[in-house]
Structure 1
């Protein structure tokens, strides 16, 4: 069918080692996933081990590219400082996954306009941004899109579509 199958790698905190993430990615693709969402190693990001974050991103993104699978890198921004978000986005700008993503939706906070704008500005059109986590109405969804998000992650899609249709009338 045209329905995409996504797989979450090292969900929700990204703490699995690189070898585990690579193995999870390969197995998910073998099992039919055509989109991979992986969570960066938040601990490594907090320690500013940027070479590790880059190696991790390059490894997973390259596997996705080899198999023509969409790659999404989840930052889990609620645990990162603004300078850390910017640094991971700069790495993504160089590595070029298909998307960088604000949140798993399971952390202590979801997408914020400030974070989406920072991510969009930092990657300068080289990578798409997905806003996810806490988007529960059309007003918030539209604000994220206006800020530059090209995909929205939400568990409130029906409500958002109803509000969108009501506004369009």
Structure 2
């Protein structure tokens, strides 16, 4: 198994500089990670650093709170695709989901998926704020909206990925959607446990540590 191909090499800190993004991309090229995950303002920079490689560029949308209007998220997603993004990681409207406004959440995901066409859409549920039932309701909304992935966390909530949440998500996703675990994945043992549970991507800023440990 090639652990590196599971990793979205991620840098979403508000203090990230262009030099930090260059380092991120150099590392992604060196280790041949699946993708880098960056803020939209750094997309074109990342694309330039990653040209002539197979490393994908993933961009976060409606990040990290998910409380923007649907129109704003759609515009942000369209802009990212226009500028060359391969994948979109969007945050759901958490408050609407918790209020039982599942149709709103579903329509928003549908709108973004329609806007980006055949590009990959990952839907961030932010499970730390959801009950078990809400996690599965959110996962069903993403499934009904034809999302490609459901994702656990932004890394900016009160908690990150958990094995329990991934198991709940897998019950809904089955083989129809992929799962990305993110937030707090810092060691190889944890990463392997998530992969054993059926995760297809790992969002982490500790990818190099995971790979180097893999080689020990």
TM-score interval for Structure 1 and Structure 2 normalised by the shorter chain = over 0.9
User: Deviations along 1:45-95, whole A, 9 cap, x unmatched?
Assistant: 111100000100111112222xx3111100111111111100011122222
Q: Does the residue aligned with 1:100 lie in a helix, a strand or coil?
A: strand
1:11 aligns with 2:63: yes
How far did residue 142 of structure 1 move?
0.5
Q: Is the 8 A contact 1:92 1:123 kept in 2?
A: no
Distance in 1 separating the partners of 2:146 and 2:163: 22
1:40 aligns with 2:40: no
Distance in 1 separating the partners of 2:128 and 2:186: 18
TM-score by length of 1: 0.93
Q: 2:47 is matched with which residue?
A: none
TM-score by length of 2: 0.74
Q: 1:163 is matched with which residue?
A: 213
Please, which of 19, 25, 29 is the counterpart of residue 77 of structure 2?
Answer: 25
How far did residue 116 of structure 1 move?
0.5
Q: 2:132 is matched with which residue?
A: 82
How far did residue 105 of structure 1 move?
1.1
Q: 2:162 is matched with which residue?
A: 112
How far did residue 125 of structure 1 move?
1.2
User: Deviations along 1:88-123, whole A, 9 cap, x unmatched?
Assistant: 111222222111100111111000000011101112
Gaps of 5+ in 2: 1-51
Distance in 2 separating the partners of 1:129 and 1:3: 19
Distance in 2 separating the partners of 1:43 and 1:28: 25
Q: Is the 8 A contact 2:107 2:145 kept in 1?
A: no
C-alpha RMSD over aligned residues: 1.0
Distance in 1 separating the partners of 2:145 and 2:214: 35
Q: Does the residue aligned with 1:5 lie in a helix, a strand or coil?
A: strand
Q: Does the residue aligned with 1:164 lie in a helix, a strand or coil?
A: helix
User: Deviations along 1:121-155, whole A, 9 cap, x unmatched?
Assistant: 11221100000000000010011111111111111
Aligned pairs for 1:46-65 (under 5 A) are 46-65=98-117
Distance in 2 separating the partners of 1:50 and 1:34: 27
How far did residue 6 of structure 1 move?
1.7
Work out the number of aligned pairs and report it. Answer: 164
